[in-house]
Amino acid sequence: MKDIENKMTNFITNIIDKDLKDNKHSGKVITRFPPEPNGYIHIGHAKSICLNFGLALQYNGTCNLRFDDTNPTKENTEFVESIKNDVKWLGFDYGDNLYFASDYFDMMYNYAVELIKKGKAYVCDLSFEESKEHKGTLTVAGKNSPYRDRSIEENLNLFEKMKNGEFAEGSCVLRAKIDMSSSNVNMRDPVMYRIQKAYHHNTKDKWCIYPMYDWAHGIEDYIEKITHSICTLEFEDHRPLYDWFLDNLSLDHYHPQQIEFAMLNITKTVLSKRRLKKLVDDKFVDSWDDPRMPTVSGMRRRGYPAAAIRNFANAIGVSKSNSLVEYEYLEFFIRNELDEIASRAMVILDPIKLVITNYPENEEEWFDAKNHPKKDEMGTRKIPFSREIYIERDDFMENPSSKFFRLAPGTEVRLQHAYHITCDNLVKDENGNIIEIQCSYDPTTKGGWVPGRKVKGTLHWVSAKHAVKATANIYSQILTVDSLNDIPEDKEFTDYFNKDSLIKKECFIEPSISDSEPLSYFQFLRNGYFCTDKLSTKEHPIFNLTVSLKESKDK
């Protein structure tokens, strides 16, 4: 996979290059991808995966897959397994470097005790509302908790009772003692532990107190000897707290360095696990891997190749300022990859019957067709031909414009892989709608390509006698606005959910693809790239539109 081996050059690699030159961290590079297992990861996470694992590969280092499982009420093993599968599918091998924050709970607890003993953490009994009031605002300093000056002995005793489950949820928390007047509100005595009497997927019922992410983050990085802790920009204001916790503990090796980069934002797309969960819970979509979802699992099911996602992530690069990327840019990489690997097939999405009147009624032929016009190694398939076929309805026009080069009364076109045909007659219903096109064929044009004989149009088709009914899921973006920032504050983002993001079409497919394996890639000639859905069966084939053949005219 050459794209994974391509070297990156950005402000992060500049930092790493300098660190290596200075022999910082003994010349090591250790990164991590630290998802919280509270949902399926999306393409924004895919960018982070490509960055962190890519840097480790580039510098012959290591990248850990670490689950930040510090909130048992929102996490479960389904999300853990889905994330592991997604990372592997994207092409990255974490090997034995699989970790859980919960593996370090004992160490975190002991480090918290150390801060208490140093007089730098205390148990606070303020309610949530009282704590919010004491914290102040961006322009108004906070005020000290009345419990801030508890003795070290009292805090140690209370913290142990918290651990032992002697207090109710919400009755108290452990807070760091920093500075309630700090201009950075994250430094105003942040919460380190809260009481949650919940079952944990990994530690079961051992704990009833759980660390907050800001406390756990740096400890996890330190334990794993992470050299460069790469986060999105939303954590930039949290970096002083990250450093404060590590600087105030007795540590025996180097201090990890937090570096922030801009998160990915894509037009007409939701990149928030909380919002994606709402789409699932409220039945706007069928599941986390619904092909409309920007989750890695959803994109895989829709037919996005892993290499295309990696190439996209590499192309958009890494910066320190947020921006909005057009979805069409992602689709550009999807097309490029699928053009190379997708087998060709003929499928009719909007059929109209065409009868070849001079073709024998009971006769049929089977033509050989390449699965890819430029790749002989992808082999060939047999395509049946008979007197009655289906073509796309918009491939015929009764009164054509001068720029219409497909089938019309009196015109000759080529049937892909078959013969030249000429339209002779139309059959209409009582309302004047065309229900059948009658044509004649030239038997000397077998194969469809005759030297020196030019026709302006080539049509794909499916033999009516051999056609297999299937469902084509036509997908488009889930939002009707470019960005969540375009939504008024008094509106829910679901008010802008695209109700036409899925349109199901009954179609006719050539029999060769009726029993294709899930995640088989196809280019349906002139219709787009499609992928066999995981629920597809030979009795009921289902295909998902991955991307159109060309960029939208509305771009």
* pLDDT score recorded for residue 451: 79
Query: What secondary structure does DSSP assign to 3-20, as a single string?
Result: HHHSPP-SHHHHHHHHHH
Which amino acid would we find at residue 468? V
Same domain? For 325 and 397 the reply is: no
* pLDDT score recorded for residue 554: 41
**130 lies in which domain range?**
2-261
Three-class DSSP category at 375: coil
Query: What secondary structure does DSSP assign to 13-50, as a single string?
Result: HHHHHHHHHTTGGGG--EEEE---SSS--BHHHHHHHH
* Residues 149-183 pLDDT 10s: 999 999 999 999 999 999 999 999 999 999 999 99
How far is Cα 347 from Cα 538, in angstroms, rounded to an integer?
A: 16
Same domain? For 353 and 420 the reply is: yes
* pLDDT score recorded for residue 553: 44
Query: What secondary structure does DSSP assign to 418-450, as a single string?
Result: S-EEEEEEEEE-TTS-EEEEEEEEEGGGTTS--
Same domain? For 316 and 357 the reply is: no
CATH number of the domain residue 53 falls in:
3.40.50.620
> What is the maximal distance between C-alpha atoms in the chain?
101
Same domain? For 226 and 368 the reply is: no
Same domain? For 15 and 121 the reply is: yes
Is position 555 within any domain?
no
Is position 321 within any domain?
yes
Residue 103 CA: distances (Å) to CA of 68, 163, 216: 10, 16, 11
Task: Kindly give, in sequence order, each residue whose CB lies less than 8 Å from that of residue 257, ignoring residues fewer than 6 positions away.
Answer: 15, 19, 227, 228, 229
Same domain? For 331 and 364 the reply is: no
Q: Which of 232, 261, 290 is the last residue of a domain?
A: 261
* Residues 373-393 pLDDT 10s: 999 999 999 999 999 999 999
Backbone torsions φ then ψ of 301, nearest 5 degrees: -65, -35
Same domain? For 434 and 286 the reply is: no
How far is Cα 107 from Cα 250, in angstroms, rounded to an integer?
A: 12
Same domain? For 176 and 106 the reply is: yes
CATH number of the domain residue 378 falls in:
2.40.240.10
Same domain? For 415 and 505 the reply is: no
CA-closest candidate to residue 75, choices 38, 107, 48, 34: 38
Structure tokens at 114: 């150390």
How far is Cα 292 from Cα 269, in angstroms, rounded to an integer?
A: 10
Residue pair 41/86 in contact (Cβ under 8 Å)? The answer is: yes
How far is Cα 193 from Cα 538, in angstroms, rounded to an integer?
A: 54
Same domain? For 299 and 220 the reply is: no
Task: Kindly give, in sequence order, each residue whose CB lies less than 8 Å from that of residue 79, ignoring residues fewer than 6 positions away.
Answer: 37, 38, 39, 40
Q: Which of 206, 232, 261 is the last residue of a domain?
A: 261
Q: Which parts of 350-397 are beta strand (E)? A: 351-356, 364-370, 380-386, 388-392
Same domain? For 426 and 504 the reply is: no
How far is Cα 70 from Cα 149, in angstroms, rounded to an integer?
A: 28
* pLDDT score recorded for residue 2: 63
Same domain? For 460 and 474 the reply is: no
Q: What total of structural domains would you count in the chain?
A: 3
Is position 156 within any domain?
yes
The H or E element containing residue 62 is strand 62-67
List of the chain residues with pLDDT < 70: 1-2, 4-5, 551-555
Work out the burial of residue 77: count CB atoms within 10 Å of its CB; fewer than 13 is exposed, 13-18 middle, 19 or more buried. Answer: exposed
CATH number of the domain residue 533 falls in:
1.10.1160.10
Is position 552 within any domain?
no
Is position 268 within any domain?
no
Backbone Cα Rg of the chain: 30
Is position 553 within any domain?
no
Q: Which of 398, 433, 467 is the last residue of a domain?
A: 467
